[in-house]
Structure 1
Amino acid sequence: MRISTLTIFNQSVGSLNQQQARFNDVSQQIASGRRVTSPSDDPQAAARAVGVSQSLAVTEQYTDSRVSARNSLSQGESVLNSVSDAITSAKTLLVQASNGTLSDADRQSVASELSGIYETLLGQANATDGNGTYLFGGYSDSSAPFVKGNGGEVEYVGDSEVRRQRIDASRLMEVSDSGQAIFQSVPGGAGHVAAAEAGNAGGVTFSGPQVLDDEAVDADQPYTITFTGDEASGFTYEVLNGDGDRVADGAYSPGEEGTRIAFEGLSMELDGQPVDGDSIAVKPADQGNTDLFTTLENAISVLESPAGTEAERAVLGNTLSTSMRELDNSLDNVLTVRASMGARLNELDVVDGVSSNRTLNYEQTRSDLVDLDYAAAISEYSLRQVGLQASQQTFANMKGMSLFQYL
């Protein structure tokens, strides 16, 4: 069978081109560091690699989300640390103001310091993250959540909902807390708070209430202690619960300092002489005044007022006693929210660790699918280079095989 010179030439060129293409493929793999440089190299691996890359991109998005969440929580926790310090300072001032030897001028000086703390707390309640976003306004984070009304009282105008952010596929985390929950709430189990009624004209003062028996206390039940009688015939008291049922009564002797009365697991220390009809309200903390700013406003107001008569001194003592109890509850509430923020920051650290391991797994899987084994690639590179050189040499030799050379 006769083989034409053209056929031999075409076959040699085809073999040469094939070897050159294989050599170029290996060279490209080594240059890029990837075994699969195009989907046609390994369609199945390329398809799986796309899915892994998408999962890796989603994981990175969650990582960015956690960075944002951590910044927000860290700033909020820092502000609440300052708030707790301010409340502690306010309570210290109220203890100082409770000293009976202070004059009206001394108490006004304390009131001035307390006003400074009040303004500081208001500023912290309206704190921003540095970009103009208010930390404690919920979803209404573009305007100050706390404003002063026409009467000078502080009102919350923010949103009761809190901002949430997805930090992982299965976790939607609260990245802020409502200012209402921080500055106008008390923690669960805060107990009862006593307050003298505004119309009292006598000089009776109180401390407490104290818990005598946890099991006997109804945490949701309010009480009212009412005094009847006069100095000549003597005084009595009765304690009514929120349903109007009498739960305790007895004689009250103003001359006996520190008279203790007990009712349904609670006790109160009473002192001073009442006037017929005077009363003291004992309410669960969440049913009474839960507003930190109102507490300070009441304390500042009573400190700025004179306390020359027995009734005025009673108002002073009772208001300060109530305010200190309310400040304790407010401080407990702030610390509870701050602890919650700390727990969420710790959770972010845990999720970061899990996410890092997941990222490493994705990267390893993608690498196994498309990345190059350099040892194997270099060996194949050498083999393809030898094959290409052999094809080139063969083509050179075959090109000279022609009958025309013998004519």
Structure 2
Amino acid sequence: MRVSTQEFYQSSLYSLLNQQSTLNNLSQQLSTGNALINPTSNPVANAQVLDLNSKIANLGSYQQSNTYAQQDLGMSSSTLQSVGTLMNQVQQLAVQMNNATVNASDLHNAVATMQGNLQQLVQLANTQDANGTYIYGGSRANTPPFQLQSDGTVQYLGDSSQKTLEIGPGLTTPISQAGNAVFMNTLAGNGTFTVSGSASNYQIPAGSSGTSVNAVGNTTLGPGSVLNSATANSEFVAKGAQFEVTISNGASGLTYNVTSGTGVVGSAGWTASSGSVVSGTYTPGQSIAIPATEGGSPFITVSTNGEPASGQTATFTLAASKPQSLFQTFSDLITAFSEGSGSPGANTRRAQDISNALANLNQFQTSLLSTQAQIGSQLQQAQSVQSLNTNLTQQFQTARGNLADVSYPQVITQFQESSTALQAAQKAFVQVQGLSLFNYIS
């Protein structure tokens, strides 16, 4: 077989270029550490690396969202802890003021303190995260959700939504709480029913000289408790029933009577549904067990304190609990402390109002602890997902490294072999190029 000069040059050039390309590819692998410099050299591995890169990038995005979620959840938890501390301080102040020996100066200072506490509560409810968004505004996170009005009331301008972030494939977590659920909508009283005293309980009767300290009694009722939840729900919620508790100091001594009905107690709209459900002799400090109907089993009970003045009756209404804001409870205490001191009527009214406010604060404490527990669970979930995402990222990076990372001992050996082969090819080309028949003709 004869090889033309042109074929010789083309074959040699192809061989040299191929050796140079291999050597250049190995050189780039050594300098970059990437074994897939040329995608066509291993298309399957290159496709797998691209897929792994996409998964790693997605996990990185989830981790950023997760970090942001943990920051907001942590801030919310910390803020609610501050709210709880503030509520404890308010409870202590209320207990101190629930004393007939406090004077006008004490109450004046307590009013000033509570006004400051109310402003502080609004500030806590308007907490912002690192990005300046309000964490208790729901989806309306760019304006303060709570506004203190000139009359001391607080208006909520947010909504009931919760912001969420995706912290894993198909997994989202709330990063905020709706402010109305946290601060505005806790059931008052003991969570089932409330106790309210008639205004006549604290007033000197018409025609009385008012010279006797006993002209107004000092009867108060505690927040009460539920003995049978099903019956309580049926009476207060389903039937809309109310119970009127009267404690009298008459000719037959101290007695009590409880009447069941609907409507507004003490007005023409009140309808006694079953008349008296329970009555008896009253002893100051006793608990009154109340059945739904006469002769039935008690389903609620209320504690008592004090007694009416001679010839008088103290009246109280037990009605279904309604939502009340924590701000309103603070305002109620400001009103209670502003009622003055000295007279039995003022002291008794303040005592009843403080008792009711303390019951509301207890409900808010329970609600607050429940919210904190929920946030803690969400934070724990986010931390677990973060750990899982970190492990997955490491696994994907290891798999990518096995496909794309250079094995330096192997590539260095290949580089040396290719370099030797290129040098040999170059030398052979030069030697063969120098051959000519004229060198052998003498």
Q: TM-score, normalised by structure 2?
A: 0.83
C-alpha deviations, 1:130-176, integer Å up to 9, x for none?
Answer: 43311100111111111134533112111111111111112111101
Amino acid at match of 1:278: T
Rounded Cα–Cα distance in structure 1 between residues aligned with 2:430 and 2:157:
90
**Residue range with higher mean Cα deviation, 311-320 or 217-226:** 217-226
Aligned CA distance change for structure 1 residues 246 and 381 (closer, same or farther; 3 Å): farther
Rounded Cα–Cα distance in structure 1 between residues aligned with 2:116 and 2:122:
10
Identity between Structure 1 and Structure 2 (%): 24
Match of 1:206 among 221, 224, 227: 221
Rounded Cα–Cα distance in structure 2 between residues aligned with 1:281 and 1:184:
22
Amino acid at match of 2:307: G
Rounded Cα–Cα distance in structure 1 between residues aligned with 2:431 and 2:220:
120
Rounded Cα–Cα distance in structure 2 between residues aligned with 1:7 and 1:360:
53
Secondary structure at the aligned position of 2:232 is classed as coil
On the 8 A contact 1:241/1:247 being kept in 2, the answer is: no
C-alpha deviations, 1:208-239, integer Å up to 9, x for none?
Answer: 4135x456763564342332767346654114
On the 8 A contact 1:260/1:269 being kept in 2, the answer is: yes
Alpha-carbon shift at residue 97 of structure 1 (Å):
0.4
Match of 1:227 in 2: 246
**Residue range with higher mean Cα deviation, 122-131 or 54-63:** 122-131
Alpha-carbon shift at residue 402 of structure 1 (Å):
1.0
Secondary structure at the aligned position of 1:158 is classed as coil
Amino acid at match of 2:402: D
Match of 1:166 in 2: 166
Secondary structure at the aligned position of 2:36 is classed as coil
Alpha-carbon shift at residue 103 of structure 1 (Å):
1.5
The equivalences for 1:259-298 within 5 A come to: 259-263=286-290, 264-270=298-304, 271-273=306-308, 275=312, 278-283=315-320, 287-298=321-332
Rounded Cα–Cα distance in structure 1 between residues aligned with 2:172 and 2:133:
20
Match of 1:257 in 2: 284
Aligned CA distance change for structure 1 residues 404 and 187 (closer, same or farther; 3 Å): farther
Aligned CA distance change for structure 1 residues 352 and 246 (closer, same or farther; 3 Å): farther
C-alpha deviations, 1:9-57, integer Å up to 9, x for none?
Answer: 3322222222222222222222221121132111111122211111111
Rounded Cα–Cα distance in structure 2 between residues aligned with 1:86 and 1:309:
30
On the 8 A contact 2:103/2:342 being kept in 1, the answer is: no
**Residue range with higher mean Cα deviation, 334-343 or 318-327:** 334-343
The yes-or-no answer on 1:337 pairing with 2:371 is yes
Q: What is the number of residues matched between the two proteins?
A: 401
Match of 2:295 in 1: none
On the 8 A contact 1:217/1:266 being kept in 2, the answer is: no
Amino acid at match of 1:273: P
Rounded Cα–Cα distance in structure 2 between residues aligned with 1:177 and 1:221:
33
Match of 1:238 in 2: 258
Aligned CA distance change for structure 1 residues 161 and 242 (closer, same or farther; 3 Å): farther
Aligned CA distance change for structure 1 residues 385 and 349 (closer, same or farther; 3 Å): same
Amino acid at match of 2:322: G
On the 8 A contact 2:134/2:145 being kept in 1, the answer is: yes
Match of 1:30 in 2: 30
The equivalences for 1:37-52 within 5 A come to: 37-52=37-52
Secondary structure at the aligned position of 2:59 is classed as helix
Alpha-carbon shift at residue 282 of structure 1 (Å):
4.5
C-alpha deviations, 1:103-145, integer Å up to 9, x for none?
Answer: 1321222222122111111111111124331110011111111
Match of 1:196 in 2: 196
On the 8 A contact 1:12/1:394 being kept in 2, the answer is: no
Amino acid at match of 2:285: G
Match of 2:355 among 305, 321, 325: 321
Amino acid at match of 2:82: S
Match of 2:132 in 1: 132
Alpha-carbon shift at residue 316 of structure 1 (Å):
0.9
The equivalences for 1:28-107 within 5 A come to: 28-107=28-107
Match of 2:3 in 1: 3
Amino acid at match of 1:207: G
Q: Which runs of 5+ in 2 are unaligned?
A: 203-216, 237-241, 264-272, 291-297
Aligned CA distance change for structure 1 residues 8 and 228 (closer, same or farther; 3 Å): closer
Aligned CA RMSD, in angstroms, stands at 2.6
Rounded Cα–Cα distance in structure 2 between residues aligned with 1:382 and 1:141:
64
Amino acid at match of 1:110: A
C-alpha deviations, 1:290-321, integer Å up to 9, x for none?
Answer: 31111111111121112444333221111000
Rounded Cα–Cα distance in structure 1 between residues aligned with 2:408 and 2:285:
89
Q: TM-score, normalised by structure 1?
A: 0.90
Aligned CA distance change for structure 1 residues 352 and 304 (closer, same or farther; 3 Å): same
Match of 2:210 in 1: none
On the 8 A contact 1:299/1:319 being kept in 2, the answer is: yes
**Residue range with higher mean Cα deviation, 231-240 or 176-185:** 231-240
Alpha-carbon shift at residue 245 of structure 1 (Å):
4.8
C-alpha deviations, 1:50-91, integer Å up to 9, x for none?
Answer: 111111111111001011111111111111111100000000
Match of 2:214 in 1: none
Rounded Cα–Cα distance in structure 2 between residues aligned with 1:142 and 1:30:
53
